[in-house]
Amino acid sequence: MASPALDAAVDRVRTVFAGMTSPVETGCGMCHLPEETALLRTPDVELPDDVLRMFAHEVPNHFDDHPAAMRRILPQLAARLATGRFAGLDAYELTGLARSGWRTWPAEQACAVRAFLEAWWADTVTSDAPPYPVHKVFESCVTAGSTVTPYLAVWAGQPLGGPADRHLVDCLERWIDDLIGDLTSSLFSWWCHPYRDEPLAELQAWLVEHAPPRLRACGADPLLLFRTGLLALPYDERWTEDVWATAPGS
């Protein structure tokens, strides 16, 4: 069950974007059926789940007015994400929102989108059994928001030894190879910010500072703790024999 804060964020999206349409939308004749495109011109009518999914990740040139199309689907999209009913969640699914330029929309609209993403992440990382895998929600929020900063701040604000730390272990086990290798294929595959580099260094620095006590608090594998510590070293030094000679079990 969603937290009151997430429910309130979804309600805010519903209120702010209620009645919105893309009034002259013709869509992509190759990808969208006429009756699907017509839904974007019609306010407050539910889209079939497969159509919502397609529109949510569609590239801008498939619409006459891409931002308007995203505003039209946002109430239903937010509700589906919050309740775990957006099947098969992947960061790719929110690339349409990421490319919409929502951060430049009128303040009320941009604030509603930002508040939803942050509330969705906070609800996920503090839940013992969230509807979606935590790494997928993190990667989706990073994709849609084009930032890691607020989501890392939420993580850092959680008490030691709680669900957030267990989720951190799960995420690190999935990401650590790419992080050590300065690769971004796990986390930033769909990074859509046109004026900012992928925030790999920001994430690595955050993990060096915040991850060790959290990994210890939940009894994580000492080797994972060691490998996380490698992120504090320059890239070339992470691979030296002297460094790995100190690894647990070496």
41 contacts: CB under 8 Å, gap ≥ 6: 21, 22, 23, 24, 25
**Do residues 125 and 164 make contact, with C-beta atoms less than 8 angstroms apart?**
yes
194 has pLDDT over 70: no
Give pLDDT, residue 124.
98
pLDDT number for residue 195: 63
> Would the pLDDT of 196 be above 80?
no
Euclidean distance between CA atoms 46 and 42, whole angstroms: 10
pLDDT digits (tens, 9 = 90+) for 95-112: 999 999 999 999 999 999
Question: Does the pLDDT value for residue 185 go beyond 90?
Answer: no
> What is residue 127's predicted lDDT score, i.e. its pLDDT?
97
Residue 135 and residue 171 in contact, taking contact as beta carbons nearer than 8 Å: yes
Reported as a single tens digit per residue, the pLDDT across 11-26 is 999 999 999 999 999 9
Buried b (16+ CB within 10 A) or exposed e, 73-101: bbbbbbbbbbeeebeebbbebbbbbbbbe
Question: What pLDDT score does 44 carry?
Answer: 95
Q: How many residues does the chain have?
A: 250
What integer pLDDT is reported at residue 193 of this predicted model?
74
74-97 confidence digits (pLDDT tens) = 999 999 999 999 877 988 899 999
What's the confidence (pLDDT) of residue 88? 78
Provide the pLDDT for residue 186: 72
- pLDDT, residue 224, reads 97
Lowest mean pLDDT among 30-44, 81-95, 130-144, 183-197: 183-197
Range in 58-72, 130-144, 194-208 the model is least confident about: 194-208
Give the C-alpha separation, 227 to 174, whole Å: 12
